[in-house]
Amino acid sequence: MSRLYAIEIDETDLPVPSPEMDQERRVAVFDLEESNSFALLDGPEGPYALRLGMTPDRRARFELTGRDGSDAAAFTLAMGQLEQAVKDYATLCDTYVDAVKSLPPARIEAIDTARRDIHSEAARQLRALLAGKADVDEPTSRRLFTLICVMMQSE
């Protein structure tokens, strides 16, 4: 399967992220560049460079180029289906940060489990949204969801 060799976030029209969101984004980009599985279904073989952004109407914009700089594909995905997951995930992330400061380990673990479950379900939904455009594995969809989540929270 093909892969992404570079990931760039298009920050056009996005406010400056909080330090926590910026850290999440940097970790997700690093993880994706280290390991991913991404293949266009109707386009040239990879590897690809991905420029990921958000349109003014809250769609995720994927722009892919080949290693030689040639255009490989460009498409948008409506994010309405993921909006609730983004909100829930953000809430649980905030709750987790607060919990680590004062709650017992069992409660922290329960919050973290709920956070991971929402993240996994949202990644599954993102894979379904990508169906017909690209084939990605579960770890790649999880990291892409993290990036989209950070961008949607920044709006």
Provide the pLDDT for residue 154.
53
Question: Which amino acid is it at 149?
Answer: C
Write out pLDDT tens, residues 105-153. 888 888 888 888 999 999 999 999 999 899 999 999 999 999 998 888 7
Question: Which amino acid is it at 13?
Answer: D
pTM over 0.75: yes
Provide the pLDDT for residue 92.
82
Residues 6 or more apart in contact with residue 92 via CB below 8 angstroms: 111, 114, 115, 118
Provide the pLDDT for residue 155.
46
Write out pLDDT tens, residues 21-39. 788 889 999 999 999 999 9
Residues 6 or more apart in contact with residue 9 via CB below 8 angstroms: 25, 29, 51, 52, 53, 147, 151
**Structural domain span for residue 97:** 4-154
Cβ–Cβ under 8 Å, residues 10 and 51: yes
**Domain count along the chain:** 1
Indicate the burial class of 44 (C-beta count within 10 angstroms; 0-12, 13-18, 19 or more).
middle
28 beta partners: none
